[in-house]
């Protein structure tokens, strides 16, 4: 009995699947067992046609394909190639030599790429479970970005068969791990782009909001914009992803994996992913879920230091808003179902935008607010204190004025973000300031004596929670980084305190 390795997605990660084929004297038949889903069961017809195209005759026996482990659900048309190879090479003395084999077959035997091949190879390569892969040539451009791999390609089934029949003539293809972007080398290479489809220079006035946006981007701090309709809240939020810190190759590959899981083509550019779900989104669509098997949601798709933007924040359902408390604090999400559990990272920059009242005119100097005190109180109460406590920066934006002028470009802000990023990496931080845990805060966020005294006084006066204190310290650390200061000074702490919400002071 021959065996070759394939793989299947189990939630966010990949699991190795051993494909086995046995030929038994019995009435001719072809069966696939081992919790194979419809896409794999349908492969029987593709495999028969592809083998027929190379003049292979099915033996008059019962052919049984087993996918092990049998208690793991498998799906994906990439199982076509390993099954076809085992059948075609049944009489050959072949050593599959720890190859991972993936590929969909056309009816004429051509090999095709699928959206799951790249995330499968990336996940297994990261865990060092594979060294050599055989994939369709159409998958090469994406898979070649993954370091430390031996890649072999084939255009069709016949080429794949010959690759194993004649191992002396195998030739692995070169890796292409270079990224087409600007690079800075710190503890390792990091990449970034200087292209800004939407520029902060388009926003006139709103200097405080721009400053808060710069701090949020430099340290990956959660931010909430509040202001009248049309003052520029959404404009600031949409311009944030382009000025976020540089990305490592591993982060770029993870972004490509997330795009592949969503069914999109990866571009391998150092651009942080941004998600902006509608306020009618359900809890399952935001955090992930499903009745039979758990699937990832919006939080996972931006969980690789991306941006999650909730416009009209108070109008999201109470369940969704309160469920965000765990990923905002723990930077992880665990989805539990009877049949499966998925634990995935959720390190993202959360951006919220809201009006000051239901009609939007409470802060207006020119329009009258039409809301009653009860309506305003109900509107504000949709956001609980535990949720607001997880917001690092709160900005109350002013109404736009015709005399306001543009002051700073996205490129200038991005350069400042990169300076702060270099400061963080020089301290050997693995996470951004906004995502530091308690032990890392003690290690990396050093306050001078005057700042410590000020923080203690603010804590007593405003009855700050320990979480709020940590948030203030982390924001002050980012402000100090922007000024290339190794110690957190009094002015850094005062500015960080100024960005707390009114009910947290």
pLDDT one-digit tens code per residue, 350-381: 999 999 999 999 999 889 999 999 999 999 99
Q: Report the CATH number that the domain containing residue 391 is assigned in CATH.
A: 3.40.50.300
Q: Above 80 in pLDDT, residue 339?
A: no
Shared domain for 144 and 198, answered yes or no, is no
Could you count the other beta carbons within 10 Å of the beta carbon of residue 29? Answer: 10
pLDDT per position as a tens digit, 133-192: 999 999 999 999 999 999 999 999 999 999 999 888 888 899 998 899 999 999 999 999
Instruction: Give the separation between CA 254 and CA 248, rounded to whole angstroms.
Output: 10
Mean pLDDT calculated for residue range 253-278: 91
Shared domain for 233 and 148, answered yes or no, is no
Shared domain for 325 and 247, answered yes or no, is yes
Q: Which of 406, 438, 472 is the last residue of a domain?
A: 406
Shared domain for 207 and 330, answered yes or no, is yes
Q: Above 70 in pLDDT, residue 288?
A: yes
Residue 155 lies in a domain: yes
Phi-psi region of 103 (alpha: psi -120 to 50; beta: other; left: phi over 0): left
Smallest CA-to-CA distance from 221 within 434, 407, 466 is with: 434
The length of the chain is 505
Shared domain for 374 and 229, answered yes or no, is yes
336: number of CA atoms within 13 Å, CB side?
A: 0
Q: Above 60 in pLDDT, residue 93?
A: yes
Q: Which of 99-103, 259-263, 372-376 has the lowest mean pLDDT?
A: 259-263
**Sequence-ordered list of residues with C-beta below 8 angstroms from that of 106, at least 6 positions apart, any chain:** 46, 50, 112
Percent of the chain with pLDDT over 70: 98
Residue 429 lies in a domain: no
Residue 493 lies in a domain: no
Query: What pLDDT does 200 receive?
Result: 95
Q: Above 90 in pLDDT, residue 397?
A: yes
Q: Which residue has the higher pLDDT, 247 or 345?
A: 247
Q: How far is CA 102 from the centre of its chain?
A: 24
Residue 207 lies in a domain: yes
Query: What pLDDT does 167 receive?
Result: 85
Tokens of 372: 């009653």
Q: Which long-range contacts (CB under 8 A, 24 or more apart) does 175-181 make?
A: 175/144, 175/145, 175/146, 175/147, 175/149, 175/151, 176/141, 176/144, 176/145, 177/144, 177/145, 177/146, 177/147, 177/249, 179/249, 179/252, 179/268, 179/269, 179/270, 180/268, 180/269, 181/269, 181/270
Q: Which of 382, 406, 430 is the last residue of a domain?
A: 406
Per-residue confidence at 266, pLDDT binned at 50, 70, 90? confident
Q: Which of 237-251, 293-307, 358-372, 431-445 has the lowest mean pLDDT?
A: 293-307
Residue 74 lies in a domain: yes
What is the pTM assigned to this prediction? 0.92
Mean pLDDT calculated for residue range 18-35: 94
Query: What pLDDT does 502 receive?
Result: 58
Domain range for residue 280?
Answer: 194-406
Q: Above 90 in pLDDT, residue 82?
A: yes
Query: What pLDDT does 293 receive?
Result: 64
Residue 7 lies in a domain: yes
Q: Above 80 in pLDDT, residue 65?
A: yes
Query: What pLDDT does 304 receive?
Result: 94
Judged by DSSP in three states, 2 sits in strand
Shared domain for 214 and 98, answered yes or no, is no
Query: What pLDDT does 438 receive?
Result: 93
Q: Are the C-beta atoms of residues 265 and 293 closer than 8 Å to each other?
A: no
Residue 161, phi then psi, degrees to nearest 5: -65, -45
Per-residue confidence at 504, pLDDT binned at 50, 70, 90? low
Q: Are the C-beta atoms of residues 454 and 490 closer than 8 Å to each other?
A: yes
Q: Which residue has the higher pLDDT, 83 or 262?
A: 83
Q: Are the C-beta atoms of residues 32 and 63 closer than 8 Å to each other?
A: no
Shared domain for 124 and 238, answered yes or no, is no
- What domain count does the chain have? 2
**Sequence-ordered list of residues with C-beta below 8 angstroms from that of 204, at least 6 positions apart, any chain:** 400, 404, 405, 406
Q: Above 80 in pLDDT, residue 1?
A: no
Mean pLDDT calculated for residue range 240-259: 95
Cis status, amide bond into 69, omega within 30 of 0: yes
Strands (E), 297-435: 304-310, 332-336, 341-345, 347-354, 393-396
Shared domain for 149 and 221, answered yes or no, is no
Annotate 156-194 with three-state secondary structure. Answer: EHHHHHHHHHCHHHCCCECCCCCCCCEEEECCCEEEECC
Shared domain for 165 and 210, answered yes or no, is no
Q: Which of 391, 406, 421 is the last residue of a domain?
A: 406
| Mean pLDDT, rounded, of the chain | 93
Residue 104 lies in a domain: yes
Residue 177 lies in a domain: no
Q: How far is CA 327 from the centre of its chain?
A: 13
Shared domain for 128 and 213, answered yes or no, is no
Per-residue confidence at 451, pLDDT binned at 50, 70, 90? very high
Q: Which residue has the higher pLDDT, 406 or 219?
A: 219
Q: Above 90 in pLDDT, residue 265?
A: no
Could you count the other beta carbons within 10 Å of the beta carbon of residue 38? Answer: 8
Q: Report the CATH number that the domain containing residue 48 is assigned in CATH.
A: 3.30.230.10
Query: What pLDDT does 421 receive?
Result: 97
Tokens of 109: 């035997």
Shared domain for 211 and 87, answered yes or no, is no
Smallest CA-to-CA distance from 217 within 499, 479, 406, 485 is with: 479
Judged by DSSP in three states, 407 sits in coil
Q: Are the C-beta atoms of residues 100 and 6 closer than 8 Å to each other?
A: yes
Mean pLDDT calculated for residue range 115-131: 94
Shared domain for 257 and 149, answered yes or no, is no
């Amino acid at each position: 009995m021959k065996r070759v390795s394939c793989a299947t997605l189990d939630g966010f990660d990949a699991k190795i699947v051993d494909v086995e084929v046995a030929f038994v004297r019995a009435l001719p038949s072809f069966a696939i067992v081992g919790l194979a889903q419809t896409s794999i069961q349908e492969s029987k017809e593709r495999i028969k046609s592809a083998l027929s195209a190379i003049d292979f005759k099915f033996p008059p026996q019962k052919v049984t394909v087993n996918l092990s482990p049998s208690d793991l659900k498998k799906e994906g048309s990439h199982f076509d190639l390993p099954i076809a190879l085992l059948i075609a090479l049944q009489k050959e003395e072949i050593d599959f030599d720890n190859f991972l084999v993936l590929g969909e077959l056309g009816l004429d035997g051509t090999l095709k790429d699928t959206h799951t091949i790249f995330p499968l190879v990336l996940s297994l390569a990261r865990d060092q479970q594979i060294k050599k892969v055989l994939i369709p040539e159409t998958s090469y451009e994406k898979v070649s970005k993954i370091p430390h791999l031996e890649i072999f390609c084939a255009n069709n089934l016949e080429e794949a068969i010959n690759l194993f029949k004649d191992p002396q003539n195998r030739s692995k293809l070169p890796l292409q791990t270079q990224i087409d972007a600007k690079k800075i080398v710190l503890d390792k290479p990091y990449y970034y782009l200087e292209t800004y489809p939407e520029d902060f220079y388009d926003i006139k006035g709103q200097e405080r909001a721009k400053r808060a946006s710069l701090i949020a981007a430099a340290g990956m701090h959660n931010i909430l914009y509040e202001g009248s309709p049309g003052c520029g809240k959404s404009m600031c939020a949409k311009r944030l992803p382009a000025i976020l810190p540089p990305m490592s190759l591993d982060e770029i590959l993870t972004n490509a994996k997330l795009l592949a899981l969503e069914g999109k083509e990866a571009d391998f550019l150092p651009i942080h992913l941004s998600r902006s779900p509608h306020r009618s989104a359900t809890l399952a669509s935001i955090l992930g879920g499903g009745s039979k098997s758990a699937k990832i949601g919006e939080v996972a798709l931006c969980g690789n230091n991306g941006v999650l933007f909730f416009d009209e924040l108070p109008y999201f359902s109470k369940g969704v808003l309160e469920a965000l408390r765990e990923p905002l604090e723990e930077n992880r999400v665990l989805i539990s179902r009877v049949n499966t559990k998925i634990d995935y990272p959720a390190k993202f920059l959360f951006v919220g935008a809201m009006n000051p009242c239901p009609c939007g005119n409470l802060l207006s100097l020119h329009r009258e607010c039409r809301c009653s005190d009860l309506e305003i109180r109900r509107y504000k109460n949709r956001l609980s204190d535990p949720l607001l406590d997880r917001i690092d920066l709160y900005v109350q934006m002013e109404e736009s004025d015709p005399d306001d002028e543009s002051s700073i470009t996205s490129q200038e802000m991005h350069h400042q973000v990169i300076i702060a990023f270099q400061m963080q990496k020089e301290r050997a931080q693995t996470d951004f300031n906004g995502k530091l845990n308690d032990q890392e805060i003690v290690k990396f966020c050093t306050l001078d004596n005057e700042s410590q005294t000020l923080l203690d006084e603010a804590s007593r006066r405003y009855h700050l929670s320990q979480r709020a204190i940590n948030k203030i310290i982390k924001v002050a650390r980012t402000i100090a980084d922007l000024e290339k200061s190794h110690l957190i000074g009094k002015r850094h702490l005062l500015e960080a305190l100024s960005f707390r919400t009114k009910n947290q002071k």
